[in-house]
């Protein structure tokens, strides 16, 4: 069950993002200030999907445990900022055709491309698996342009 724990969260996030879609995009100019460039490329948006509880009540990670994990494992690695979204999704076990519904936390971090952020994200994923016994934490990433 834990080996595919992220699938439900992926579906939830996909549906949520689809609901946030807008009409045709218009060109926009990004503005910054002297300390922050108007536009920067070479950045990634990384999303990590953490299961925090099944619909049947099993596998529950409470808010205190989640906050402690953020404070201990995530914030020291990405102190400049992050976003956490609450999600809900479902996925089906292939081997026994059983549907699993679960709550999740989606961690969004915008970071420059490079070896250090990749190592930090892998360390976060490993720490979660050790803490919870889960077999996976989904990591989705894409290139983005940012403006601060």
> Which among 47, 48, 44, 76 has a CA at the least distance from the CA of 134?
48
Successive 10-residue mean pLDDT values, the chain, 148 residues: 44 42 45 62 94 84 96 97 94 80 95 96 97 91 89
Domain ranges of the chain: 2-8+42-143
CATH number attached to the domain at 2-8+42-143: 3.30.70.120
Say if pTM beats, i.e. exceeds, 0.75.
no
């Amino acid at each position: 069950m834990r080996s595919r724990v992220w699938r439900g969260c992926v579906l939830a996030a996909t549906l949520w993002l689809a609901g946030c879609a807008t009409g045709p995009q218009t060109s926009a100019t990004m503005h910054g200030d002297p300390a922050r460039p108007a536009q920067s490329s070479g950045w990634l948006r990384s999303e990590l999907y953490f299961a925090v509880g099944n619909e049947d009540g099993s596998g529950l990670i409470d808010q205190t445990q989640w906050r402690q994990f953020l404070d201990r494992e995530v914030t020291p690695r990405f102190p400049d900022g992050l976003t956490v979204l609450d999600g809900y999704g479902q996925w089906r076990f292939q081997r026994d055709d059983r549907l699993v519904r679960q709550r999740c936390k989606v961690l969004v971090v915008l970071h420059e491309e490079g070896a250090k952020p990749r190592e930090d994200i892998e360390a976060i994923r490993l720490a979660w698996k050790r803490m919870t016994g889960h077999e996976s934490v989904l990591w989705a990433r894409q290139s983005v342009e940012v403006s601060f």
